[in-house]
Structure 1
Amino acid sequence: MTALASPDTREDVDLHEAANPDQPWQTVVWNDPVNLMSYVVRVLQQYFGYSREVATRLMLAVHHEGRAVVAEGPREQMELHAQAMHDYGLWATVRKAPQ
């Protein structure tokens, strides 16, 4: 007989955060030692529809600063963006936007 898994109970959940769906979130792309800069530019252009100039500026921020915010909006959408970046082989996370 196998034991049932207990539900994930996170005690560090901010109830104000859960009650505020309008809180903006960000998708952050991180620098990695694998992907070429030209590839990152191409991904940002293809997925987000950014111009070459905007995609290049974001890629340079990733390269020089270690990360760049590539999108901001509702949490669910930012999670989809982060997953898409993972599917392209880029490192990405989601975080609350600073207020």
Structure 2
Amino acid sequence: MLPDVDVRFDVPWILVVWNDPINLMNYVVHVFRSYFGYPREEAERLMLLVHHEGRATVASGPREEMERHAQAMHEYGLQATVARDDA
């Protein structure tokens, strides 16, 4: 019998953007719209999650893609991390 092994090779990963005291809310909306192509309403909804809850999941997918998105968010001056989507 094989031991219990987690074999979820392509588990989705998430990109989390964190609240910070530096960036203005309208700038965060601008980043979400220009980089991800979100419509204004979705960009504002995500920005409000970041603002009120301290974080928002703004994208999900393969790890490498989420890491590229995180790097892009850093280049825009936003704090972002990549995590496994264990939901």
Structure-1 separation of matches of 2:19 and 2:40: 19
2:40 to 43, 48, 52: 52
Sequence identity, in percent?
A: 65
Match of 2:49 among 58, 61, 78: 61
The structure with the larger Rg is 1
Aligned-residue CA RMSD in angstroms? 1.2
Aligned equivalents of 1:58, 1:45: Cα separation in 2: 11
Report the TM-score, using the length of structure 2 for normalisation. 0.90
Maintained 8 Å contact 1:85/1:92 = yes
Query: What is the TM-score of this pair, normalised by structure 1?
Result: 0.80
Counterpart among 41, 45, 62 of residue 74 in structure 1: 62
Partner of 2:9: 21
* Structure 1 residue 22, shift from structure 2 partner: 1.4
The question of whether the paired residues in 2 share the 8 Å contact of 1:21 and 1:74 is answered with no
Distance in 1, matches of 2:28 and 2:67, equals 19
Equivalent residue letter for 1:22: D
The 3-state SS of whatever aligns with 2:9 is coil
Unaligned runs of 5+ in 2: none
**Per-residue displacement from partner, 1:56-99 (whole Å, max 9, x unpaired)?**
00000000000000000000000000000000000000000023
